[in-house]
Amino acid sequence: MHRKALGRGLEALIPGAAVMDPAESKSDSVSMLSLEDVRPNPFQPRTRFDPQALEELSSSIKSTGVLQPVLVRKHVQGGYELVAGERRLKAAGMAGLDAIPAIVREVGDREMMELALVENLQREDLNPIDEAKAYQALVSKVGLTHDQVSERVGKQRSSVTNSLRLLGLPVEVQEMVSRGTLSAGHARALLGLDNAGDQLATARYVQAKGFSVRRTEALVARKLRRRHSRSAPARQSAYTEWETKLQQKFSTRVQIRAGRKGGIIEFEYYGSEDLERLLEAWGVVS
């Protein structure tokens, strides 16, 4: 079942921090801090900020001020370090403000990393690759399981696992997705190709031609059909169609190997978490 977004995450990690509204947390005092005294969050997962969105936020801050305090912690070398609220901090600077309202908390590195990652994931405006890298950091650096990540960010576990699979694409393809010249849908279609060279060549072709996701899926399917036909000339065309449908449904590579009286259907998986995702989809485990 899809979990309601913001069900846990920041609020679960630091009670009252999900919205950081001083009116709702009397124990939190809001201080005005000089922008020059606030260092950026070193664990910020976002590599690109939408310039137009920042301009809009800056304009809003010019007219109404910063309505929601940022969250900071004291830095060992003096000043403060941002925990959450980097867009507000950047936009406040663009608006010409010298100071920003802030709540100061005692937060450790691990907790700070988790807060930064979860806050950005809950806002749902990360590009697909930054999102995948944020999930990866929660798993590899914070030590969460896919289920725990799913619970923190209010996403289905399968969504988290499928997002992580994008990091298996060549770096150049990931950059295309980060820039927005290819969508996550395009990237998922390219995962049907098991060769990095094929993935990159197809990505460049799709980008140059301006293919839709559907056309990209069809192109990948044709490539797979040609590959299969070369290895098995007498192969039934229906098998290829079924493979394509299965690949689209289960988001992984599928091969049907037919024999005289029977055959084998092979589903590829990419680690134990991905195997569990497939087993859940088949109803083997719940």
Q: 56 lies in a domain?
A: yes
* Domain limit, last residue, from 158, 178, 211: 158
Query: Is residue 205 domain-shared with residue 262, that is, in the same domain?
Result: yes
Query: Is residue 47 domain-shared with residue 129, that is, in the same domain?
Result: yes
Burial of 224: CB neighbours in 10 Å, binned 0-12, 13-18, 19+: buried
Q: Which residues pair with 71 in a beta bridge?
A: 84, 103
Query: Is residue 125 domain-shared with residue 89, that is, in the same domain?
Result: yes
Counting the structural domains of the chain, the total is: 2
* Domain limit, last residue, from 135, 158, 181: 158
Which listed residue (36, 55, 56, 86) is catalytic? 86
Q: 5 lies in a domain?
A: no
Query: Is residue 97 domain-shared with residue 123, that is, in the same domain?
Result: yes
Q: 143 lies in a domain?
A: yes
Tell me the CA distances in angstroms from 234 to 98, 230, 239, one per residue in order. Answer: 73, 9, 11
CB count in 10 Å sphere of residue 158: 18
Q: 164 lies in a domain?
A: no
Distance between CA atoms of residues 49 and 246, nearest Å: 36
Q: 4 lies in a domain?
A: no
Q: 208 lies in a domain?
A: yes
- Which DSSP category does 247 fall into? H
What CATH number should be reported for the domain holding residue 41? 3.90.1530.30
The one-letter amino acid at 55: E
Query: Is residue 24 domain-shared with residue 65, that is, in the same domain?
Result: yes
Q: Which residue has the tokens 């559907």?
A: 214
Tell me the CA distances in angstroms from 141 to 28, 44, 109, 134, 167, one per residue in order. Answer: 29, 13, 11, 10, 16
The one-letter amino acid at 286: S
At 185 the pLDDT is 94
Query: Is residue 74 domain-shared with residue 135, that is, in the same domain?
Result: yes
Distance between CA atoms of residues 138 and 149, nearest Å: 7
158: part of which helix (H) or strand (E)? Answer: helix 157-165
Query: Is residue 140 domain-shared with residue 188, that is, in the same domain?
Result: no
Q: For 83, phi and psi rounded to 5 degrees? A: -100, -50
Distance between CA atoms of residues 171 and 182, nearest Å: 13
Query: Is residue 120 domain-shared with residue 229, that is, in the same domain?
Result: no
Q: Which residues of 30-65 are buried (b: 16+ CB within 10 A; e: fewer)?
A: beebeeeebeebebbbbeeeeeeebeebbeebeeee
Query: Is residue 47 domain-shared with residue 150, that is, in the same domain?
Result: yes
Q: Is 24 a catalytic residue?
A: no
Query: Is residue 154 domain-shared with residue 174, that is, in the same domain?
Result: no
* Domain limit, last residue, from 129, 158, 187: 158
**Which residues, at least 6 apart from 275, have a Cβ–Cβ distance to it below 8 Å?**
269
Which structure tokens are listed for 139? Answer: 């798993």
Label the pairing between strands 254-258 and 263-267. antiparallel
Query: Is residue 147 domain-shared with residue 41, that is, in the same domain?
Result: yes
Distance between CA atoms of residues 174 and 130, nearest Å: 10
User: Domain span at residue 216?
Assistant: 169-281
At 31 the pLDDT is 87
At 7 the pLDDT is 34
Q: Which residues pair with 32 in a beta bridge?
A: 101
Query: Is residue 114 domain-shared with residue 203, that is, in the same domain?
Result: no
Full pLDDT tens readout for the chain, 286 residues: 443 333 334 443 333 333 334 333 445 688 899 999 999 888 777 767 778 888 888 999 988 888 889 989 998 888 999 988 888 999 999 999 999 999 998 888 888 888 878 877 876 577 899 899 989 888 888 888 888 888 888 888 888 999 999 999 999 999 999 999 999 999 999 999 988 888 998 999 999 889 999 999 999 998 888 776 655 554 566 777 888 888 878 877 788 887 777 889 988 887 788 888 889 889 888 7
Q: 117 lies in a domain?
A: yes
Which structure tokens are listed for 184? Answer: 């996550």
At 231 the pLDDT is 57
Q: 71 lies in a domain?
A: yes
Q: What is the pTM of this model?
A: 0.58
What CATH number should be reported for the domain holding residue 276? 1.10.10
